[in-house]
Structure 1
């Protein structure tokens, strides 16, 4: 019997990691997508995402969820030394950026949280939702790619 994964489950998983305080936004996305892909990388790969929360180390720039999302896309479309760039890498990463910018009017952390008290539950809920949106968008795109979807299906059996 095959088990299929839903985009909504991926969204909820990423949101849960962040909401419960297990990970920040970028880490939650990387961990969730690594799991979706069947752990092609050690769980320690999440350490690479640890500098990105709150707009690149609290600098307020690029949203950590978007940064983590781009890293997660690299798990599927990235390359190793000596390999050519996967033709899908740049367009899908740009599409993630454009999706979040269209949806939230910015990808800049300080703009996304403007008007919120940073320590408020409302700000956290807002960031949790963005984190879930990034993870869900990536999951949807990966599941639409027949080559990647096949790997995901094998990993969830």
Structure 2
């Protein structure tokens, strides 16, 4: 079983890549491992300190699992499960944005703060 520190701390994946890859590697999400490349540009809050990359990775995994494959399919299952996840994440951590999470939990919005990776593992 892989865990987030395998990829995020020592492996060099960003937060979005890490969450998705761990879910795939551990059999939680049935997706090709190569799909992680779709998340490469999403780390660091979309490279703009916006929505947390870990949140994006999880939402992508949920959408992959519950999403539709053609236009006639319903969006509702994916929308509902992603909304539930977002609500629970915000309830637990207080924020959804990368910068806001760092400020709240680290007291700094510095992406290079040494303790950032350890804190992000909690998300």
TM-score over 0.5 for the pair: yes
- Bin of the TM-score, shorter chain as denominator length: 0.7 to 0.9
Q: How far did 1:22 drift?
A: 3.2
**Number of residue pairs aligned between Structure 1 and Structure 2:** 119
Residue in 2 aligned with 1:129? 122
TM-score, normalised relative to structure 2? 0.83
Residue in 2 aligned with 1:112? 101
Q: Which has the higher contact order (CA 8 A, sep 6+)?
A: 1
Query: Using the alignment, how far apart are the partners of 1:89 and 1:38 within structure 2?
Result: 16
Task: Flag structure 2 segments of 5+ consecutive residues without an equivalent.
Answer: none
TM-score, normalised relative to structure 1? 0.67
**Offset from partner CA, 1:118-154 (integer Å, 9 cap, x none):** 2222112111211xxxxxxxxxxxxxxxxxxxxxxxx
| Alignment of 1:16 onto 2:6 | yes
Bigger CA radius of gyration: 1
Task: Flag structure 1 segments of 5+ consecutive residues without an equivalent.
Answer: 1-8, 131-157
Matched-pair contact (CA < 8 Å) for 1:34–1:75: no
Query: Using the alignment, how far apart are the partners of 1:40 and 1:78 within structure 2?
Result: 12
Q: How far did 1:14 drift?
A: 2.3
Residue in 1 aligned with 2:82? 93
Q: 1:102 to 1:17 in 2, by over 3 A?
A: same
Query: Using the alignment, how far apart are the partners of 1:27 and 1:126 within structure 2?
Result: 16
SS at match of 1:88: helix
Segments of 4+ in structure 1 off by > 4 A?
A: none
